[in-house]
Structure 1
Amino acid sequence: MSRIGKKPVDLPSGVTASVSGQTIEVKGPKGVRTFTATDDVDLKVEDNAINVVPRGKSKRARQQWGMSRTQVANLVTGVTTGFTKELEINGVGYRAQVQGKVLKLALGYSHDVEFDIPEGVTITATKPTELKVEGIDQQVVGQVAANIREWRKPEPYKGKGIKYKDEFIFRKEGKKK
């Protein structure tokens, strides 16, 4: 029995959901998101909540039950509050700035790195050394943040590079004489 799957996903005020076949569409103040569930589960909207029910007792149906419920919950969270990833840039001369739909990163290379901001994601540079990636799709927000971090991962000796705000960098001691 799935503990997560049993819980209904509550719809806050201002959010509507409609089911057609195996596809659910959630509309909210931040936008519209859809999810297509597998044939192993049923999606039902009733009493201002979305219920996910497995079809049968097979192992695959039970696996899809919890996963589908979590995906639906992420749709509701995305259209109400959205998702955010915060990045920190450490290093002398390392900085970022947003110019239109392009993020310019100075990361110690001979040239500035220009990162095109994808559709559905907004990036703001609150300070030259802090970035905030926001959007309604959790997967896209996380992937964009990971792609930005990939340009200069934090190194363990001085901690220079791009890291997540809540990430801990295990520091190493340098060479001894």
Structure 2
Amino acid sequence: MALTQTHRFNRRSKDASVYPLMVASSFVLLTDMVYTSSVLSVSAVTLGSIGISYMLWPAEFSTVGRWLKRYRLSWQAGLLVAVAAMFFLNGISQPASAQFFGQAEQWMTGQFPQGGQVIPLVFNVLRGLFILYLGISLVKVVQAARQDEDWQNLARTPLIILIAITMGDLLSQFIIGGGGA
């Protein structure tokens, strides 16, 4: 009997160490739900609440526990996969506005309204050249790797350029602020 109580105590102390993590992640999920108001965020909050409820009241979920034991499944792993899938689906369901120098283009258009179609054309040409450069560099790196050549040196320059352009985009957002709004 003492062995069973010790085992039960160890299981509860293990769950107790996971409890703050579950509460914190549920708070993050709830914050995401408030800001995005999407069905996937609500589903992720629901799954997180079910996980916390299972940790607090395991006796109430005895049928689910027996089913998980019969198929040798871990409820923590299943919950983690489900919540991660909800976050992933929520992330890709949002509109994609991650363009390089998008806010800089908006600011330039707001500052120079007489520019008309020239400003978007210039920024789109720059984006196109950047994508072409990265694509050609990627092909060269893959060819060098397939021919057992030194592909790391070929990959270094495009990575440096990618990081430099990303930093330039971030710095331009700091300089111009909210896109001229």
Compute the TM-score of the two structures, normalised by the length of structure 1.
0.29
More helix by share: 2
More strand by share: 1
The structure with the largest alpha-carbon Rg is 2
Compute the TM-score of the two structures, normalised by the length of structure 2.
0.29
